[in-house]
Chain A
């Protein structure tokens, strides 16, 4: 395509870049999108920030998209509405596209070409549990508890509750949520069994020492206050909210459980992506720009981002609550503020690239806790990851941005095969290699390994 097309309509994707250069980098013609009026769903959490920023800063507009952002009641409603087509796409838990594709819960092929952020969650315990747990904690020279706080200190507390005849209940946001897997990882690393799932019992409480149940994020503090749960694992601002209201103590952030773990993704259905490839690209472009803006110059824009997120149509919580984590401080016990500069990462460390190894880790956790009932070969993990994660679309969008002069070549992992190198950033020191999921599963304490399965509440096989 050397001939200049009469109208952008005839321009192919490959030619779009040439066209952009002809028109001058700053005034690139937007992609000729199939659908320019979109409705995207989100849950009121700070990590929806890339969506809010892309809308407020006009990044969607630059791509020729008119986007309505609509808050959803809970993760299930959000996923169902994406599947039914009421929403074009949404801010999703990384486990949701994977869970939907393998048919845990609702079966539907959902894909993602954009990972929204790293970290951003915490685990909060009620004041009473914290008081009972505190004596078991190793202290630093300043008398403050040493971080990261491990669940070993919680184990005797759970035993006490048991002895008093109280089941130890905790809240998490969704069965396939990062929060669920993080909470389980943390509990299991401390020798507490968080319970198994089985095909005929999806409560996730088989053999559990701590009973985990689903609570929508915004209702976490209220549920904790009501005494229905003794702790929860949730994204911001709901951990800081507990400190502000004096109803609980965040004990650990997820980056201490697994350094720089992937958190949310931007998901669309496979059918939608096939039907609207250019729209999908345009969306990913806008979101990459929003993520870059959020992390620019060492988080310089975060204060402005906090103001935007505090608007009632986005997260809506008070700015000072959102500001804590977004600007890199985190308050554990009241008055115990510590710097957690990477609490929310939106672009650094290739945060937005959809790595296959991230998808595989989620699949290993689904297998570990019985959401995947039977053993699968390593090749299955790789295939499933490739079915859901679409780095090729991401890189195409990134390439266009680089050619338009809106992004730097060096910021993207062009040569990656989708697998991160050996990851040793876990709280219990167990290294993770995404290429060998089954071997990884055998190393983990508590959890299904090899050919094990649950039958009638008992582990069998192996």
Chain B
């Protein structure tokens, strides 16, 4: 670097420091934005403090981001603990946080006990088969999967599988349809009344119809998917595709006309136009729609499981209600919090996706 002047070498160290600081601040800002999206916004003031920002200012920020929500949560727990015992139902008093926490432990213990039972079952089976073979090497031995009860964790996994299946099915239908609606006014006019009519229909109204159709179309002899699984998934699809459909249509129809004209000048074919121009510019809208859809789908699924008695968290809640034991209410509350937390996490995941594909300052 011979072209560098003397004057600049004097201040070069300072400049370097300033540049480093600016880079660090910029990096911190970007990290903060990302953290905000995934719901860990309270980490950024801590990082900034570590980077040497004014502790006072960051302390205030930290209080806003972390202190206030935590205090609110504490207050809520205190109010709950105080109010719950005062409501007496026929299943005993409403459980407070302590009882609910106890049931979390119980559910975990149940899960482990069931897994132990499963292992014991496989052991017994292996022993039995070995004995049979020892007696008669030509004997036909069978290995069967364990048929115990689904534990709480199993129910959560079932629900998640179902909601994603239904949601993806919905997206597969809604996105192309939405693009078609957005591109052509005729299609939009044709679809509009249908969308308006079906959008507000409650999942529970679809359920009997879906159940009947699934029963009629799926044979009962070892189908690839369980009927109950299909019923729940299709119900989720029917209720969750509307937000995606509407948002996609809006996104596609509000594309910059200049862009479309450029496409026409370049004489792009229809599919290329959709792939290169339409989808990328409508992506933020589509993801907003998907995020809404997943939220709706999750809510619908629990209701559908409750009503149709299909495996999943909804069934867990209903079974516990039917048990009517002294621990039932607390277990139902555990389920309520689980459902809420999972819904929140799903939303965050979609939000992260949305932010990743949107053209905002965070990229």
Contacts A218-B322, A318-B325: A313 and B138 contacting too (C-beta < 8 A)?
no
Determine, out of A61-69, A110-118, A135-143, A327-335, the stretch whose residues face the partner at the interface.
A61-69
Q: Does the CB pair B90–A84 fall under 8 Å?
A: no
0/1 per residue, B142-179, Cβ < 8 Å to A? 10111111000000000000000000000000000000
Q: Does the CB pair B318–A7 fall under 8 Å?
A: no
Q: Which residues does chain B contribute within 8 Å of A66, judged by CB atoms? A: 144-147
Q: How far is the CB of A306 from chain B (nearest CB, A)?
A: 13
* CB-based nearest B residue for A320: B326
Contacts A37-B144, A218-B324, A312-B323: A86 and B220 contacting too (C-beta < 8 A)?
yes
Q: Does the CB pair A9–B328 fall under 8 Å?
A: no
Tell me if A1 counts as interface (CB < 8 A to partner B): no
* CB-based nearest B residue for A84: B215
Q: Which residues does chain B contribute within 8 Å of A318, judged by CB atoms? A: 325-326
Q: Considering the chains assembled together, what is the distance between the CA atoms of A247 and B147 in angstroms?
A: 38
0/1 per residue, B44-82, Cβ < 8 Å to A? 000000000000000000000000000000000000000
Tell me if B228 counts as interface (CB < 8 A to partner A): yes
Tell me if A241 counts as interface (CB < 8 A to partner B): yes
0/1 per residue, A55-78, Cβ < 8 Å to B? 000100100101111011100010
User: Among the listed A64, A68, A71, A313, which residue makes an inter-chain contact with B142, where contact means beta carbons less than 8 Å apart?
Assistant: A64
Residue among A67, A216, A313 with the highest chain B CB neighbour number at 10 A: A313
User: Among the listed B144, B220, B323, which residue makes an inter-chain contact with A315, where contact means beta carbons less than 8 Å apart?
Assistant: B323
0/1 per residue, B306-325, Cβ < 8 Å to A? 01010000000011111111
Q: How far is the CB of A334 from chain B (nearest CB, A)?
A: 15
Q: Which residues does chain A contribute within 8 Å of B322, judged by CB atoms? A: 44, 71, 73, 216, 218, 316
Q: Does the CB pair B227–A84 fall under 8 Å?
A: yes
Q: Does the CB pair A316–B319 fall under 8 Å?
A: yes
Tell me if A222 counts as interface (CB < 8 A to partner B): yes
User: Among the listed B140, B326, B328, which residue makes an inter-chain contact with A7, where contact means beta carbons less than 8 Å apart?
Assistant: B140
Q: Which residues does chain B contribute within 8 Å of A73, judged by CB atoms? A: 307, 309, 318, 322
Q: Does the CB pair A36–B142 fall under 8 Å?
A: yes
* CB-based nearest B residue for A318: B325
User: Among the listed B220, B309, B324, B328, which residue makes an inter-chain contact with A77, where contact means beta carbons less than 8 Å apart?
Assistant: B309
Q: How far is the CB of A76 from chain B (nearest CB, A)?
A: 11
Q: How far is the CB of A181 from chain B (nearest CB, A)?
A: 24
Q: Does the CB pair B220–A312 fall under 8 Å?
A: no
Q: Which residues does chain A contribute within 8 Å of B328, judged by CB atoms? A: 316
Q: Considering the chains assembled together, what is the distance between the CA atoms of A420 and B320 in angstroms?
A: 40
Q: Does the CB pair B90–A247 fall under 8 Å?
A: yes
Q: Considering the chains assembled together, what is the distance between the CA atoms of A216 and B91 in angstroms?
A: 17
Tell me if B139 counts as interface (CB < 8 A to partner A): yes
Tell me if B110 counts as interface (CB < 8 A to partner A): yes
Q: How far is the CB of A261 from chain B (nearest CB, A)?
A: 25
Please give the number of chain B residues whose Cβ is less than 8 angstroms from any Cβ of chain A in the complex: 34
Q: Which residues does chain B contribute within 8 Å of A67, judged by CB atoms? A: 147
Q: Does the CB pair A36–B325 fall under 8 Å?
A: no
Tell me if B23 counts as interface (CB < 8 A to partner A): no
Q: How far is the CB of B124 from chain A (nearest CB, A)?
A: 7
Q: Which residues does chain A contribute within 8 Å of B149, judged by CB atoms? A: 68-69, 313
User: Among the listed A36, A84, A216, which residue makes an inter-chain contact with B220, where contact means beta carbons less than 8 Å apart?
Assistant: A84
Tell me if A85 counts as interface (CB < 8 A to partner B): yes
0/1 per residue, A290-329, Cβ < 8 Å to B? 0000000000000000000010110111100000000000
Q: How far is the CB of A86 from chain B (nearest CB, A)?
A: 5
Tell me if A405 counts as interface (CB < 8 A to partner B): no
Q: Which residues does chain B contribute within 8 Å of A152, judged by CB atoms? A: none
Q: Does the CB pair B147–A225 fall under 8 Å?
A: no
Tell me if A410 counts as interface (CB < 8 A to partner B): no
Contacts A9-B140, A72-B309: A85 and B220 contacting too (C-beta < 8 A)?
yes
Q: Does the CB pair A312–B325 fall under 8 Å?
A: yes
0/1 per residue, B201-230, Cβ < 8 Å to A? 000000000000001000011000001100
Q: Considering the chains assembled together, what is the distance between the CA atoms of A221 and B148 in angstroms?
A: 30
Contacts A71-B322, A312-B325: A37 and B147 contacting too (C-beta < 8 A)?
yes
Q: Which residues does chain A contribute within 8 Å of B131, judged by CB atoms? A: 27
Contacts A7-B139, A66-B145, A66-B147: A316 and B323 contacting too (C-beta < 8 A)?
yes
Q: Which residues does chain A contribute within 8 Å of B215, judged by CB atoms? A: 84, 86
Q: Considering the chains assembled together, what is the distance between the CA atoms of A36 and B145 in angstroms?
A: 10
* CB-based nearest B residue for A246: B90
Q: Considering the chains assembled together, what is the distance between the CA atoms of A77 and B207 in angstroms?
A: 13
Q: Considering the chains assembled together, what is the distance between the CA atoms of A73 and B211 in angstroms?
A: 15
User: Which B residues contact A (CB, under 8 angstroms)?
Assistant: 90, 110, 121, 124, 131, 135, 138-140, 142, 144-149, 215, 220-221, 227-228, 307, 309, 318-326, 328, 331
5 contacts between A and B (CB under 8 A): A71-B309, A73-B322, A86-B227, A218-B322, A222-B90
Known: A44-B322, A312-B320, A312-B323. 10 other contacts (CB 8 A): A7-B138, A37-B144, A44-B319, A66-B144, A71-B319, A71-B322, A72-B309, A73-B307, A218-B322, A225-B90
User: Which A residues contact B (CB, under 8 angstroms)?
Assistant: 6-9, 23, 27, 36-38, 44, 58, 61, 64, 66-69, 71-73, 77, 84-86, 216, 218, 221-222, 225, 241, 245, 247, 310, 312-313, 315-318
The 5 closest A-B pairs by CB, nearest first: A316-B323, A85-B220, A313-B149, A218-B322, A66-B144
